[in-house]
Structure 1
């Protein structure tokens, strides 16, 4: 069987010299030591047995670790998308303030839903925005305060101070996104965490707007953006990208079917039939299972080598 040779450019703690990683049938067996110590391979913290174990698959690693620099372009591409989304959010935050000023609850709820969707579609940056992210979309942030006011039905005009603060915070978002720190590890895991957050936070009885169906659609959209930016990095490293895309397609089809059954609108979770709810949550769980392979295929470090068995 043909030997597959992969050159893994890896250096613990950053970019460094190339370290050969040979994987596939016919790879060399793990190196052994007769002197009780291994020579270290130049440019790494690994000795010869570490490298040989990786080559043979003895360490359980099927693919070579990535350089952190492999994420530079995907993160830059995401920043451009997120800053454009922030511009849309700014317009919708201003529209929400105007809607609240009319005093009409229905108009205000619809405007809030549009602003909330824009925030959710920013997607991968939540954890990188610090206090500003909390002020916009945190549990006590502007969007949450307005949501808790509009449901079950506070007077919309009473929520104008929160809306003004939200508009001010959102106006800062594009500048913060340009310089916020997004690490390769954070970015790789967000592909899975966006919808995981939806599953955890948006289907409980404590969600005032009961908007889990819409939140799922927004999560799908944000996750697809992250996967699109990561596609060149994931290419050839396994099947996580294909599996993730297929599972997202099935989840999106489920959401679309539910919308059609409810007149084209995103229904409240409480109005779903038992079958609709079970199907939606089942496909959401399946999508998360599919996405769980993405971080594994984007490792930037060699996992610790299993402990050696002492010689008798």
Structure 2
């Protein structure tokens, strides 16, 4: 298992306000003892080969790999022209992934937004067709398309079309490819969807190719029902609060045991930093400990002690 980080806390500055560049983020991340940096489509203000190569050179100079590129295609948009544009934009991200990450690097795919008036069957058909359209390019460039169990992109009005587990599993089942297509597992998003994140992992473990790790809490005095009532507003709800991994709602010991038992050896990318780099570093340290404990041949006694400590503290 290898560790990368994703600048959730700086995403708006980079992708929306453009007061921070991808190069600024690479420099900022130098203080973190990680193997790679997950990048985001909105970081590429330019998409020319020269610009992409400059990013790659900067990553290499800083000692990082680029294992994952986070994109947010909206394949369920009701307008055909927009769906075609989304497919073309995703293809561009696949090419950038190949240029920066090389073999085994992944590009995130989604179903799209839950647009009013789009039926379940129609949305599934559009999303599956878009992914199938992109798979030949992914195979040609040896890039893996990673379908995330997603909540809502920061620029979206509506939540993920395939947010519900049954819809996600049906979309996943429509794509047979297991060499260049799989699941990007996000445990926090499973909780937001109303699922137990560890139980959701059990359902998709045989197709997990990447993982985003975060931990979230609901704002004091709120519930998942309150969160769902916020759907239809732009971006993420303020009712969701980010924090250090291992201190929120996810049962990470069980998640790590499931991944280790399945022989998972891919990347786990930390989606953190909303409350500053100190919390990002604490999340890195948590994953480093987990890597040693669950993926490095540690004893059952240490695992049991860790679980007991987690139960005792209520974390």
* TM-score in terms of structure 2 length: 0.28
Q: In proportion to residue count, which structure has more helix?
A: 1
Larger strand proportion of the pair: 2
Q: Which protein is bigger by CA-based radius of gyration?
A: 1
TM-score (norm 1): 0.28
